[in-house]
Amino acid sequence: MERENVAHTRQKISYCVLCNKTESSPGTFPFVIGLGRVCIECGMKKVRCDVCGEETKIITSSRFQGRTLCLRDHMKEIEKYRNHLVITFDEEKMGIDEIVNKALHSGPEGYTLLSIRRARNSKTVWEAEYEKTELFEMRCS
């Protein structure tokens, strides 16, 4: 679905979301995450990162949940989405007991086990889902 969307917008002439200028040929304007396509002039303008307060070019910034972020803080936000980890175990290689045991006791460091479930597309693979312990504790306190 999303891929179709991207392909679709690539063929279209887009306009700068800031000054409404249209591009000369499709795909000329760079895409700013959370903002949209911007022309080069607008992209070179400076904005202030809402997290660290440093100035950054619009072109290297992003909008995330209503905030303007510099590239570095954008990466940190992305990192937050990696708070969930899934590790898979194959029942053909080890017994259920062993899987449960492994999932419980040898999970990734700093993560708390949330659940063990059978993978949707397999009859023998199990998935252990983990969440970053600090987040898990925050959610539970």
Q: How far is the CB of 45 from Zn ion (least distance, A)?
A: 9
Q: How far apart are CA 100 and CA 115, in angstroms?
A: 10
Touching Zn ion, residues 68-87 (CB under 5 A): 70, 73
Q: 70 or 128: whose CB is closer to Zn ion?
A: 70
Would you count residue 49 as binding Zn ion (CB under 5 A)? yes
Q: Which residues in 17-46 contact Zn ion (CB under 5 A)?
A: 18-19, 21, 39, 42
Structure tokens at 82: 């990696």
Structure tokens that stand for 72 in this block:
């570095």
- Beta 55-57 vs 46-48: how paired, if at all? antiparallel
Residues in the chain, overall count: 141
* Contact residue for Zn ion among 23, 51, 87, 129 (CB under 5 A): 51
| Contact criterion met (CB below 8 Å) for 86 and 124 | no
The three-state secondary structure class of 54 is coil
Stretch that binds Zn ion, among 9-17, 77-85, 106-114, 127-135 (CB under 5 A): 9-17
> Which residues here bind Zn ion, judged by CB under 5 A?
16, 18-19, 21, 39, 42, 49, 51-52, 70, 73
